[in-house]
Amino acid sequence: VILKSDMQSLEHPIFSLSKVRDMSTYHYEHQGNWLEVTPSSIGRATIYDRDLILYITSHIVRAVNEGREVSQTVRLTAHDFLKFANRGNGGRSYELLRESLTRLGGTRIQTNIKTNDTDEFRTFGLVESASVVRETRDGQMLDLEVKVSDWLFKAISNSEVLALHPDYFRLKRPLERRLYELARKHCGRQENWVVSLDVCLKKSGSRGEMKEFRRMVREIVETNAESQHFPDY
């Protein structure tokens, strides 16, 4: 399966970059596009929770490309997802996956951002529903069924997606992942993309002050200059 993402999630900061529980409501507005994200009972969905959305998106896109019938509800194997997302398969990984499902299902979005060029106001959850359909005797999940939102499914069905480098999952810092997403969306066929730090801060979804954001970006740049670990760019 080729790793795929919908374009809107690449461009706009839907997911939290925080590594601790984020209970704040987040509002974003840029050039007429706006969204408001309200957290679940255990916090706002994070950029690591997004891995599950990427996995589901990738499988739906493959089914569409192969001419198979597709649905908003996808059945998946927990072990296969953990392997795909470069995660361990110990008990803690399964616990974190359960927490991701709760955050994805409980996080609510209001937005005017278009999918399939349809201009409308929408409110939805990142995941409409999720259930464990098979588990071991000691309660470890085996198979899941996840229903993605109409908003996301419409984008996937209309090929509003881009391929990501598989090493995306090897980027450990939340801001690294977000900078890669922005580069992937905006570079296109250009050799480079220039953006002011002010706009980059807004599009990243970082809640820090500009001074801290500048420091983190500089640190990522310097680390990559030494290791070249940042894929594609």
Q: Report which DSSP code applies to 44.
A: P
Residue count of the chain, please give it.
233
Question: Which amino acid is residue 21, in one-letter code?
Answer: R
pLDDT tens digits, 55-91? 999 999 999 999 999 999 999 999 999 999 999 888 8
Using a pLDDT cut of 90, give the percent of the chain over it. Answer: 76
Distance CA 113, CA 121 (A): 8
At residue 78, the pLDDT reads 93
Distance CA 71, CA 129 (A): 13
Q: Report which DSSP code applies to 43.
A: B
Query: CB count, 10 Å around CB of 230?
Result: 19
Here the tokens at position 105 are: 């299902």
The answer to whether the beta carbons of residues 126 and 104 sit under 8 Å apart is yes
At residue 153, the pLDDT reads 93
Nearest in space to 86 (alpha carbons), one of 115, 108, 55, 56: 55
Could you tell me where the DSSP H helices lie in 25-77? 50-65
Query: CB count, 10 Å around CB of 210?
Result: 11
* Residue 136 predicted with pLDDT over 80: no
Query: CB count, 10 Å around CB of 19?
Result: 11
Here the tokens at position 205 are: 């979804």
The model's pTM is 0.93
Helix (H) or strand (E) holding 81: helix 78-84
Calculate mean pLDDT across residues 87-109.
91
Distance CA 117, CA 157 (A): 13
107 by DSSP, 3-state: which?
A: coil
State the pLDDT confidence band at 117, using cuts at 50, 70 and 90: low
State the pLDDT confidence band at 30, using cuts at 50, 70 and 90: very high
Here the tokens at position 158 are: 């209309």
At residue 91, the pLDDT reads 84
Beta bridge partners, 109, equal 37, 124
Instruction: Tell which wins on pLDDT, 123 or 25.
Output: 25
pLDDT tens digits, 146-193? 999 988 999 898 889 999 999 999 999 999 999 999 999 999 778 889
Nearest in space to 20 (alpha carbons), one of 1, 57, 48: 48
Q: Which range is least confidently modeled, 17-31, 90-104, 128-142? A: 128-142
At residue 123, the pLDDT reads 84
Distance CA 41, CA 23 (A): 8
* Residue 42 predicted with pLDDT over 80: yes
